[in-house]
Structure formats: structure tokens, C-alpha cells
Structure 1
């Protein structure tokens, strides 16, 4: 079994280098080599939302990309976009949506905390005058 992946030269999956680049090279590697001893599962989570292309078509399109440089952007053209476009013809990434949701939640909490601290400071300083 093989796993097709896009790889950012000099960058691991969680590397900051993957954010700073605009190009990736598509590689074909054996799945066992990529995952090593780690557990994995096949996750076709969009199959209920989108109709998968026929397997032969997915494989044909994937093989055509091997060795090619492709545009890469962590937000709009990441690896999940790449594989969902192969499978469904539509580039989709919940990784990006989840990241944006998390960032918005963090900013809301920080803003709320800052407003709360300013309110407490105003009360304390107001009592002293």
C-alpha cells in the first residue's frame, strides 16, 4: 500500500518552514515507511458530503502529480486540500477551519480577559480617587 503526500522541502508536518513556503513536491512512498510503528486509519470523512471519484481516476490523477512541484499554502492549498481534490474534485480542509475556529476562540478569551482586567483596574483606581 502506498501513501501519496505532498512534501515541503526542508519542512516536517509541524514545521514552521511549511508556513513560509509556497511550493511543495509530490512524493509517492510506502505507507509503512511513512507511519513506521504508529497506528493509522483511513479516514474518508467527506464521503457523506461529497461523491468520491472512481478509484482508478484518483490513482491516475495522483500518479500524474508524483515528482511535480505544486503550489502550497498552509491555509488555502495544504496537503488536505491536495488529497480531497484528488478524491472528490473539491479542495476541502477542516484542518484550516478547525485552526481558524481555535484562533477565534483564543482571541475571544484573551479579549474577554483583557476587558475584565481593565474593568477591575477601573474599579480599584476609581475607589482610590
Structure 2
């Protein structure tokens, strides 16, 4: 079950990670039950496959909305996981910059400028996306496994093919 504000109370400047199934949506808590987030037009709570259409858009709008309107029925958590890597900026600076961006249309790219990049840039001054990095690592691992598999098949074909030739020539 998703946490409520009674279970887990975000502090101003905290990053909120919202689990949308096959990806995570990110927002910055700005106080009084509100978050600021960058959303493609098709990004909606519980949007599932429909929200995945965000990979096709080039622009997104910065919105200030109630946390519960953004979360919907999805799971969520406070995730300031890059605090170990970067010094968070002052909460006042995060909130001021977040509020100044509300209503602004920004360039969007699922791999280069997504909602996680946006949220991390507000909190740390660094536009970084761990889910993009992790997806890249998975693609690299799958690619490496495929190459190993092709190599094994080629080796087996060579060994068994050469064995067949030896039998044919005897």
C-alpha cells in the first residue's frame, strides 16, 4: 500500500519517486502537500502504457499540483538517493527555482531530459537520471549476453561442422 502523509511526511526539497509500473515519475516536494514536476502531456497517475507515450514527445510542462493528484493510486516514496553523491542545495533555493519554473514548457527527452533529470537538477544542481543509466546498463548487459550467445553458436557450428567434414572425408 502506498504511504500517506501520515506515514511518511516529505520535507521541503525532498524528491518524490512515483512508481508507474515500467518506469518512475519524479517530483520535488515544495510544501503544503504540493509538488512541482515536469510532465509530458500524456503523464497521468495510473496511466500505465498510455504514459509510456511520453517517449514520443519533445516538450513537457512544469506543473505545481497536489502530491495526491500526481501520485493517484500509485506507490511512491521519498528518494533523496543522490544525497550520498551530491550536496543538496538549500531547501529555499530548491523551492524558489521550482516555483519559478511552474508553467514553463521545457525540452523533453526520455533519455536526456526527463522528469528525474529535472528533479535532480532542482535538488542538486545536477541533471542526472539513474533510471536512464540503469536502463543503459541493462541494454549493455543484454547486448553482451547476445554477443556471447552468438559466439557460442558460431563456435559450436565450427566445431560440429568441422567434425562432420572429417567424417565425410574418411
Name the larger-Rg structure: 2
- Count of aligned positions: 129
Tell me, yes or no, if structure 1 residue 89 matches structure 2 residue 125: yes
> CA-to-partner distance for each residue in 1:4-52, whole Å, 9 max, x for gaps?
2211123557645322222111112211122234442211111122111
Larger fraction in strand: 2
**Unaligned residue ranges in structure 1 (runs of 5+):** none
Return the TM-score normalized by structure 2: 0.69
Return the TM-score normalized by structure 1: 0.89
> CA-to-partner distance for each residue in 1:91-117, whole Å, 9 max, x for gaps?
111111111111110000000001101
Aligned partner (choices 98, 101, 104) of residue 68 of structure 1: 104
**Cα distance in structure 2, aligned partners of 1:119 and 1:8:** 47
**Cα distance in structure 2, aligned partners of 1:127 and 1:46:** 56
**Cα distance in structure 1, aligned partners of 2:74 and 2:108:** 26
Larger CA deviation: 101-110 vs 37-46: 37-46
Tell me, yes or no, if structure 1 residue 5 matches structure 2 residue 31: no
**Unaligned residue ranges in structure 2 (runs of 5+):** 1-32, 166-170
